[in-house]
Amino acid sequence: MALVARAGSITRSPRGAARWWAKVAPYVFISPFYLLFLAFGLLPILFSLGVSLFNWQGVAQAQFTGLSNYGVLLTDPDFLTALGNTVIVWLGSTVPMVFLALAFAAVLNAQRLRLRGFFRTVYFLPVVTSLVVTGLIFSVLFDPSIGLVNDALHAVGIAPINFLSDPNWMKPTLIMALLWRWTGNDMVIMLAGLQSIPGDIYEAATVDGATGRQAFWRITVPLMRPIILFDFIISTIGAFNLFEEPYVLFGGSAGNIGGTQNAGLVTGTLIYQNSFVFFNFGYGAAIAWVVAFIIFVLSMLQLKLGNKPVD
């Protein structure tokens, strides 16, 4: 009874109403995120798990088939090809990218470097370019008949290479495009990390007679390990979600999304093809879940390796 009376007085008096609003307002202010996430994040995830258990071919009635989509997946040559290609592109781009990004960041962090701002801007510039434009520029540069790269090779006496349709060259071309587009992104993250290393550590090392190179390997790299690890993990996630660059480079809407002998097929384009070209939603969702699981395992593995204590 007392409670009801109190509640009544709160809503009646203007001060009480203000106090009530002050309590509720935070939840109102953050609610759009959670409501939209429920509708377009959580619901789809649960739905997607469910869908992956069905044979659902767009227009036709969905049939419950249990784990059979996952069973088919393990022996599907397209899936295995896409997975193999993705692993090659992932390792081929991530390792040099992280290495280059750290080197660029270390050099471009030096205060006395002339034109430091200019170099930072130029190295970062590709990151703002759209992935479609990146794919288009590289397909023009590496075109077998009108491409600049083949002209340059011709000038030094090398026969033209079909970078975009020779199965041996498709993945290296994709890796080059990825290095151009994404290295600046990793570099900026590394720069932020470098700036958080306290300078007196280097001062002490200099007093102790350490050279610049020793300081880099003994101080910078160990202290930067969490950031380097972070870069490795985001690059891994990026590689397994690759879509636009291979789609544009290897002729996505021309029907064969993976290019010659599927040498340019990656997991991202395979999911797209199954879901939105063949409208086989169930199978597409199953691939997406397996890929998500692989990303999770690889990230955990890297975290475990990266967090191993140094001597």
Partner 1 sequence: MIGVNTAHRSLAARSWPARLLLYLGLCVFAAAFLAPFYWMIISALRPQSEFYQIPIPVIPSHLTLQDFVLLFQRSEFGRGLLNSAFLAFVSVVLQVFFSSLAGYTFAKLTFRGKDVLFTAMLATMMIPYMVTIIPNYIIMAHLGWIDTYWPLIIPGIANAFGIFWMRQYCQSIPSELLDAARIDGAGEFMIYWRVVVPLIQPALASLAIFVFLSTWNDFLNPLVFLRNQDLFTVQLWLAVVSHEGNVGQPAIVMAGSVLASIPVLLIFIFMQKRFVAGLTAGSIK
Binding segment for partner 1 (CB under 8 A), chosen from 78-86, 162-170, 198-206, 301-309, is 198-206
Nearest to 169 by CA among 181, 158, 157, 156: 158
**Shortest gap between Cβ of 6 and partner 1 (angstroms)?**
19
| Binding of partner 1 by 281 (CB under 8 A) | yes
Decide if residue 60 touches partner 1 (CB under 8 A): no
Q: Which of 83, 236, 289, 298 binds partner 1 (CB under 8 A)?
A: 289
Q: What angle do CA 20, 24, 25 make, to 5 degrees?
A: 110
85 in contact with partner 1 (CB under 8 A) = no
Specify the stretch interacting with partner 1 by CB under 8 A; choose among 72-80, 83-91, 107-115, 300-308. 107-115
Quote the tokens at residue 44: 């789809």
Identify which of residues 124 and 169 has a Cβ nearer to partner 1 in the complex.
124
Question: Among residues 71 and 212, whose Cβ is nearest to partner 1?
Answer: 212
Rounded CA gap, 86 and 244, in Å? 14
Give the interface segment with partner 1, choosing from 2-10, 16-24, 80-88, 165-173 (CB under 8 A): 16-24
What is the Cα 200 distance to its own chain's centre?
A: 35
Q: What's the chain's Rg over C-alpha atoms?
A: 26
Token pair for 210: 């350490």
Stretches 75-83, 137-145, 161-169, 258-266: which one binds partner 1 (CB under 8 A)? 137-145
Contacts 24+ apart (CB under 8 A), 260-264: 260/165, 260/166, 260/167, 260/170, 261/167, 262/78, 262/81, 262/82, 262/85, 263/85, 263/167, 263/168, 263/170, 263/171, 264/85, 264/170, 264/171, 264/174
What are 32's two structure tokens? Answer: 């759009």
By CB under 8 A, residue 196 contacts partner 1: yes
Q: Is residue 159 a contact residue for partner 1 (CB under 8 A)?
A: no
Chain positions 243 to 272 lying near partner 1, rule: CB under 8 A, are 243-244, 248, 251-254, 267-268, 271-272
Secondary structure letter of residue 309 according to DSSP: P
Residue 7 sits in the site that holds partner 1 (CB under 8 A): no
When binding is defined by CB under 8 A, the residue of 55, 161, 174, 193 that contacts partner 1 is: 193
Residue of 6, 9, 11, 37 that binds partner 1 (CB under 8 A): 37
The least CB distance from residue 71 to partner 1, in Å, is: 19
Q: Does residue 51 belong to the site contacting partner 1 (CB under 8 A)?
A: yes
Q: Is 142 exposed, middle or buried (0-12, 13-18, 19+ CB in 10 A)?
A: buried
Q: State yes or no: residue 13 binds partner 1 (CB under 8 A).
A: no
In contact, 177 and 135? CB cutoff 8 Å: yes
